[in-house]
A and B are shown apart, each in its own frame.
Chain A
Amino acid sequence: MPYRDFSGEPPPKRQRVVLNDNPETSATTLGQPNHLPIIYPNTFPDAFTSQTLSHFGQYNPAGFIDFTGNPNPLNSWMTLNSSQTGGPPYDAWQYSQSLISSEAFNVHQDLGALTNCYMPPVASFPSHASTEFIPLGHSLPLAQTMNSMTLQMPTCLTSNPIDNPDVLTVQYGAVNPHSNGVSQHPTIATALAPPTIDPDEIVCFGVVSQPYSC
């Protein structure tokens, strides 16, 4: 595509998307000329929640999630768009894993907890909103919607402790003398672990002093 210099002429007519249902802060923006292609920061309190639950009404767990086809809705957690895509719902185990993921617990998970419906920490970007208008480096909460809607599974959950032994054990060979599989600081482990002294060797155990009470 040939480079086109827009200097000296108005930018092309583009669609501006405002993901905010608050009539006081949002405007009719489709087709307005001479506007840079940006997405406005939502100033409405809890705007992200607002747009999520109302603009994308199908995400509202209170009344829009369709449990049709889910044999046991109490034990399953509907994804945001599982009713759209027909993808399998997340089960209770996946939901519990998501709770200990590195993602911050946000309003979506909170809602999920209140309604027995899982709302993952990120929402898929609506298909009807073009991503080409998202400026680079935008730090709005809406930028989260760029992420694909997938469960964030920490890598540690998929690894076996045996496959990944403790660093101290690898580096220092520290072994817990209690044999409970927990590695200790090498110095402490050395102090408590059976040393390399011959049991028959005469050693000095110290000098007897007066009992505590004296």
Chain B
Amino acid sequence: MGGIAGKCENPPSADTSPGLEVTLISSETFVINSDTRVQGHISSDHSFLIQDILDSGVELHATCILDLDKSAAARKGGLWPCKIDIAIYAPFAMFQELKEWSEHNEVYLQDPKSCPKEAKYCNPQRLSLNFSAPVMVSQIASHIRKHRVHLRDIMEDDDLLDRYLGSKIELQETEQPSAVKTALQR
């Protein structure tokens, strides 16, 4: 599960890791901070979502991650497929409001892969967070980088699942969230 799908004009360099910081101009366009002449476009399917976020007045930190795996044929008209990660920063008082908004719009709030701004991390959808001892965004991003999982889209004729399900590869299980872990008591 990645960010919001979009397309970006020719980026300034091919070295886009971990991503290009961008600024949302509208619900459908963004510009790269390092070179505002380079624009990008967000899929119209999600424009209503972006507009909601922009209207709420929350602080946004967006990152454009180019999909370098896509073939050159996919870059029609010089546009690179990309995903826009939009990190939401807001006063903690908006915790419940953000929670309800994400549930109403069926939006996942995922962990940040990078740390555009250091702050406490309070994802309302993540039960494993202990808000009495909150972690920082940089800690989460560091943890994700260490345990990075390569994601790719599954096409209709993709045999990825068949290969895994038919094999004897043991997939690593994620750790059980502490919030639902039953502690044995003596």
Complex CA distance for A207 and B120, rounded to whole angstroms:
14
Cβ-defined contact, A201 with B120, below 8 A: yes
Of B27-35, B68-76, B127-135, the stretch lying at the interface with chain A is B127-135
Q: Cβ of B38 < 8 Å from any Cβ of A?
A: no
Of B83-91, B154-162, B166-174, the stretch lying at the interface with chain A is B83-91
B126 surroundings in chain A (CB, below 8 A):
206
A191 surroundings in chain B (CB, below 8 A):
127-131, 179
Complex CA distance for A210 and B181, rounded to whole angstroms:
29
Q: Cβ of B110 < 8 Å from any Cβ of A?
A: yes
Q: Cβ of B149 < 8 Å from any Cβ of A?
A: no
Cβ-defined contact, B91 with A204, below 8 A: no
Complex CA distance for A207 and B64, rounded to whole angstroms:
12
Cβ-defined contact, A190 with B131, below 8 A: yes
Instruction: Count B interface residues, CB 8 Å.
Output: 54
A214 surroundings in chain B (CB, below 8 A):
5, 45-46
| A195-B132, A204-B122 given; A209·B107 CB < 8 A | yes
Q: Which of A197, A205, A208 contacts B131 (CB 8 A)?
A: A197
Instruction: Count A interface residues, CB 8 Å.
Output: 26
Q: Which of A196, A206, A212 contacts B87 (CB 8 A)?
A: A206
B1 surroundings in chain A (CB, below 8 A):
209-210
B111 surroundings in chain A (CB, below 8 A):
206-207
Complex CA distance for A72 and B53, rounded to whole angstroms:
72
Cβ-defined contact, B120 with A211, below 8 A: no
Most buried by A among B86, B91, B121: B91
Complex CA distance for A204 and B59, rounded to whole angstroms:
9
Cβ-defined contact, A207 with B92, below 8 A: no
Q: Which of B59, B86, B93, B130 contacts A200 (CB 8 A)?
A: B93
Cβ-defined contact, A187 with B91, below 8 A: no
Min C-beta distance of A190 to chain B, whole Å: 5
**When each residue 116-153 of chain A gets 1 if its CB lies under 8 Å from chain B and 0 otherwise, what string results?**
00000000000000000000000000000000000000
Q: Cβ of B13 < 8 Å from any Cβ of A?
A: no
Most buried by B among A202, A204, A209, A210: A204
Cβ-defined contact, A203 with B130, below 8 A: no
A211 surroundings in chain B (CB, below 8 A):
46, 49, 105-107
- 11 sample A-B contacts, Cβ–Cβ < 8 Å, listed by A number: A193-B131, A202-B59, A203-B89, A203-B134, A204-B121, A204-B123, A205-B98, A207-B111, A208-B88, A210-B1, A210-B5
The 10 closest A-B pairs by CB, nearest first: A195-B131, A206-B109, A199-B93, A206-B123, A209-B108, A212-B106, A203-B122, A208-B86, A205-B88, A203-B120
Given contacts A188-B180, A195-B132, A204-B117, 11 further A-B contacts (CB under 8 A): A187-B178, A190-B130, A191-B128, A191-B179, A207-B113, A208-B49, A208-B87, A209-B2, A210-B107, A211-B49, A212-B106
